[in-house]
Amino acid sequence: MNAYDEYMKGIVVPMRQELTGAGFKELLTAEEVNEHMSSSKGTSLVVINSVCGCAAGLARPAVIEALQTVEAKPEYLVTVFAGQDKEATAQMRNYFEEVPPSSPSIAVLKDGALAYFIPREQIEGYPMEQIRDHLSHVLEQVAAQ
């Protein structure tokens, strides 16, 4: 591992912990992604994490708050980290190829199929509360299906 990789690894620790501390499981390899996707029944909330400011100030806080307020809790909370866990992120994106790669982003999967996707364009520049409410509404709708 070179000095840059080591530096970035240290930088992203709190960004990872923000989600893992809220109950998310990190999928670090393509194999872990495949294992999750082949075994998960029900709703999975997938956060494609990122080092950018809109992930820190908007996406992660919105996801955490939505989970605290919504009644329809997903069965699975998982995350991959774009730019850090490249193989895992690429593999997760393979499961919803119909949407362009975007980070940060939020995917809601039902029985392994994409039910809803919130791309960076619907995160960056929006108030955190609006993103939270958007995700809460999506989770309630998917649970009702």
CA–CA gap between residue 3 and residue 6 (Å, rounded): 5
From 19, 33, 48, 54, active-site residue: 54
Catalytic residue among 52, 67, 78, 115: 52
In the residue annotation, 20 being an active-site residue is answered as no
* Integer CA distances (angstroms), 121 to 15, 59, 103, 105, in order: 20, 11, 9, 9
Q: How far apart are CA 83 and CA 103, in angstroms?
A: 9
- Is 121 noted as a catalytic residue in this protein? no
Q: Which phi-psi region, left, alpha or beta, contains residue 12 (left: φ > 0; alpha: ψ -120 to 50)?
A: alpha
Tell me how far apart the alpha carbons of residues 85 and 69 are, in angstroms, rounded to a whole number: 29
3-state SS class at 76? strand
Would you name the residues annotated as active-site residues?
A: 52, 54
